[in-house]
Chains A and B, each alone.
Chain A
Amino acid sequence: MSFLQLDDIVKKYPGAERPSVADFTLGIDQGEFVSLLGPSGCGKTTTLRMIAGLVEATSGRIHLDGKELTRTPVHQRGMGLVFQNYALFPHLNVARNVAFGLEMRRTSKAEAKRRVEEALDLVRLGHLSGRRIKQLSGGQQQRVALARALVIEPAVLLLDEPLSNLDAKLRDTMREEIRSIQRKLGITTVFVTHDQDEALAVSDRIVVMSEGVIEQVGTPEQIYEHPANRFVANFIGRANLFDAQITHTAGGVAELDVAGLGQMRAVDDQGAKGPATVLVRPHRMQVSKAAADDAHGTVETVVYVGDSIEYGVRVGDNTVSVQSVAGAAERLERGTTVRLSWQTEDALVLT
Chain B
Amino acid sequence: MSAKTRSARLTVLGLTVPGLLGLAVSFVLPLAWLLRMSFNRGDSTGYIEETFTLDSYAQFVGDSYYWDMAWETTLLGLGVTVLTIVVSYPIALFLVRTESRFKGILVALAVAPLLTSSVVRTYGWLVLLGNQGVVNQALMGAGLVDQPLALINNRIGVYIALVEIMMPYMILCLLAGFGRFNQELEHAAQSLGANRWRTFWRIVWPLSMPGVLTGALLVFVLTISSFVTPRLVGGGKVFYLATEIYDQATATLNWPFAAAIAFILLALFAVVIVIYQRALRRIEAQ
Please list the residues of chain A having a beta carbon within 8 angstroms of any beta carbon in chain B.
Answer: 52-54, 73-81, 83, 85, 87-92, 100-101, 104-105, 132, 148-149, 152
Main secondary structure, interface of A, reads loop
Main secondary structure, interface of B, reads helix
Interface residues of B in 169-211 (CB under 8 A from A): 180, 182, 184-185, 187-195, 198-199, 202-203, 206-207
Q: When the two chains form their complex, are residues B193 and A91 in contact, meaning their CB atoms are under 8 A apart?
A: no
Q: When the two chains form their complex, are residues A89 and B203 in contact, meaning their CB atoms are under 8 A apart?
A: yes
Asked if B7 is at the interface (CB within 8 A of a chain A CB), the reply is no
Contacts of A77 in B (CB 8 A): 191
A74-B190, A78-B193, A104-B193 known; A85 vs B180 contact (CB < 8 Å): no
Q: When the two chains form their complex, are residues B187 and A100 in contact, meaning their CB atoms are under 8 A apart?
A: no
Which one of A75, A76, A90, A148 contacts B207 once the chains associate, using CB atoms below 8 Å?
Answer: A90
16 pairs of residues in contact across A and B, judged by CB atoms under 8 Å: A73-B190, A73-B195, A74-B190, A74-B191, A75-B199, A83-B188, A85-B182, A85-B184, A87-B182, A87-B188, A91-B206, A100-B194, A104-B194, A132-B286, A152-B192, A152-B193
Q: When the two chains form their complex, are residues A90 and B180 in contact, meaning their CB atoms are under 8 A apart?
A: yes
Contacts of A152 in B (CB 8 A): 192-193
Q: Which residue of A has the minimal Cβ distance to B181?
A: A90
A52 vs chain B, min Cβ distance (A): 6
Q: When the two chains form their complex, are residues A83 and B194 in contact, meaning their CB atoms are under 8 A apart?
A: no
- Tell me the complex Cα distance, A89–B202, Å: 10
Contacts of A149 in B (CB 8 A): 191-192
- Tell me the complex Cα distance, A104–B203, Å: 12
A83-B187, A87-B184, A90-B180 known; A100 vs B192 contact (CB < 8 Å): yes
A89-B203, A90-B180 known; A75 vs B193 contact (CB < 8 Å): yes
- Tell me the complex Cα distance, A148–B187, Å: 13
A89-B185, A89-B203 known; A104 vs B198 contact (CB < 8 Å): yes
Q: Which residue of B has the minimal Cβ distance to A154?
A: B191
Q: When the two chains form their complex, are residues B184 and A75 in contact, meaning their CB atoms are under 8 A apart?
A: no
13 more CB-based (< 8 A) A-B contacts, given A87-B184, A89-B203, A149-B192: A53-B191, A54-B190, A54-B191, A75-B191, A89-B188, A90-B180, A91-B206, A100-B192, A100-B194, A104-B198, A132-B286, A148-B192, A149-B191
Q: When the two chains form their complex, are residues A79 and B191 in contact, meaning their CB atoms are under 8 A apart?
A: yes
- Tell me the complex Cα distance, A104–B188, Å: 12
Most B-side CB within 10 Å, residue of A87, A101, A105? A87
Q: When the two chains form their complex, are residues B193 and A101 in contact, meaning their CB atoms are under 8 A apart?
A: yes
The 7 closest A-B pairs by CB, nearest first: A101-B192, A104-B193, A87-B188, A81-B191, A74-B190, A87-B184, A75-B190
- Tell me the complex Cα distance, A101–B193, Å: 6
